[in-house]
Amino acid sequence: MLLGALAYYKKALRTNPGCPAEVRLGMGHCFVKLNKLEKARLAFGRALELNSKCVGALVGLAVLELNNKEADSIKNGVQLLSRAYTIDPSNPMVLNHLANHFFFKKDYSKVQHLALHAFHNTEVEAMQAESCYQLARSFHVQEDYDQAFQYYYQATQFASSTFVLPFFGLGQMYVYRRDKENAAQCFEKVLKAYPNNYETMKILGSLYATSDDQEKRDIAKGHLKKVTEQYPDDVEAWIELAQILEQTDIQGALSAYGTATRILQEKVQADVPPEILNNLGALHFRLGNLGEAKKYFLASLERAKAEGEHDEHYYNAISVTTSYNLARLYEAMCEFHEAEKLYKNILREHPNYVDCYLRLGAMARDKGNFYEASDWFKEALQINQDHPDAWSLIGNLHLAKQEWGPGQKKFERILKQPSTQNDTYSMLALGNVWLQTLHQPTRDREKVRGNLLSGHRFNI
């Protein structure tokens, strides 16, 4: 198409060598699109020789100069735009390019004035899209996110399929609004236009990493692997990748965290954050490397304590999580006294930490102290009266003592709650209760058989 247009321009020149500057201007635009920039420069220059007030040629030359990104070239480019503005102060193309220049000069009021002026002086949607984009990013950088959102959105309505910058900005606004779904749709459009764009892959990887949809998590893994291949020193990407791999590939997650810690220590010269140390400990725990796990949990607690002066609330929360993990580790190492101490320490500061009550109850149960265990589980129910794990554990205490009726009621209670009406564990427990009662001579066997059959409705 471009080559066809160029052929017609050349034919016009051969037919009439004295044709107006606009023909040279058209040729210049064709050469730019074909990436023949020197020929474009000559064409724009010849257009100006023929008509010193050819605004299009001035803008064309200005853009070529600005794209060189050297100080002298930028100066020449701005001078050419100023000449064009003097000739035609309402030309939307000139106004948009000047707005772009003043954005980089951080003169945002000028950006807004010029871009609005450009928007109102054209009906060409591509130029209106550019004007809205300039307005949006000037508000964005000034942290006026409502106005930025409005103009990014407007820009996407006017933009051609090749102008995806407004979608990138709009995606950022959706991220700010915690609207991951719309944010992802915006960044997908950017990635479709620029399939290997590093920033877009990284953002999409981050957005999809925490998705409930396994397919999206797999997409995130693919994006983040590409990012780490392109930029092997991107510590954030390695951490995000490690967090995804935690679910399916423990060794891969350990390797990714290992790379992240090396980059932090050797290239950034920074301490490894306590969150990463905790995660490394948790991964080693899952692999059964209890000694390694302990080393990382203790290091995480030490690091969180050191960082606490910067943000006490945040690092205290990390310490609590790590302390709980360390207590679970002590249980696995049969150091029950240490585990109990840690659980009780957590409860002194955070009396609503339900899992600590459940673990203390489980430890008492394992020692055969059923009454003490029951008391701990009931403490958990004081905080959350519908907690399914607490009711399950109490139900199991009854079953262990062959108290089938009270045990049955606990599991039935779980299944009556809308949020846990399909709880598989409770269904199996009830099935076991009914099976046990079949062997009790004092029971009404037909009634029990009816219960067993009625249980099938849960499995549909």
pLDDT, tens digit, 9 for 90 and up, residues 170-193: 999 999 999 999 999 999 999 999
pLDDT 10s digits, 387-420: 999 999 999 999 999 898 999 999 999 999 999 9
Q: What whole-number percentage of the chain has pLDDT above 70?
A: 94
Dihedral (C-alpha) 426, 431, 436, 440: value to the nearest 10 degrees?
A: 110
Using the predicted structure, report yes or no on whether residue 214 has a pLDDT greater than 80. Answer: yes
Is pLDDT above 60 for 13? yes
State pLDDT tens for residues 48-58.
788 888 888 88
Place of tokens 């290239």: 267
- Residue 28 has a pLDDT of 76
**Domain spans in the chain, listed from the N-terminal domain onward:** 1-88
Q: What is the structure's pLDDT at 439?
A: 64
Band the pLDDT of 3: cuts 50, 70, 90. Answer: confident
* Domain 1-88: CATH class, spelled out: mainly alpha
Tokens of 225: 């692997």
Shortest CA distance to 220 belongs to which of 250, 260, 180, 251? 180
Residue 31 has pLDDT above 90, yes or no: no
Query: What is the sign of the dihedral through the CA atoms of 312, 316, 319 and 323?
Result: positive
pLDDT at 106 over 90: yes
| pLDDT for 57 | 85
Q: How many CA atoms lie within 13 A of 53 on its CB side?
A: 5
What is the average per-residue pLDDT within 140-153?
97
Site of tokens 């609004």: 177
Task: State how far the Cα of 360 lies from the Cα of 344, in Å rounded to an integer.
Answer: 8
Distance CA 283, CA 133 (A): 45
In percent, how much of the chain has pLDDT > 90? 68
- pTM of this prediction? 0.77
Q: What is the pLDDT of residue 378?
A: 96
> Which residue from 200, 197, 273, 204 is spatially nearest to 239, judged by alpha carbons?
273
Cα→Cα distances 282→70, 89, 246, 257, 381, Å = 51, 64, 10, 12, 27
Instruction: Give how far Cα 163 sits from Cα of 35, 115, 127, 158, 168, Å.
Output: 18, 17, 11, 10, 10
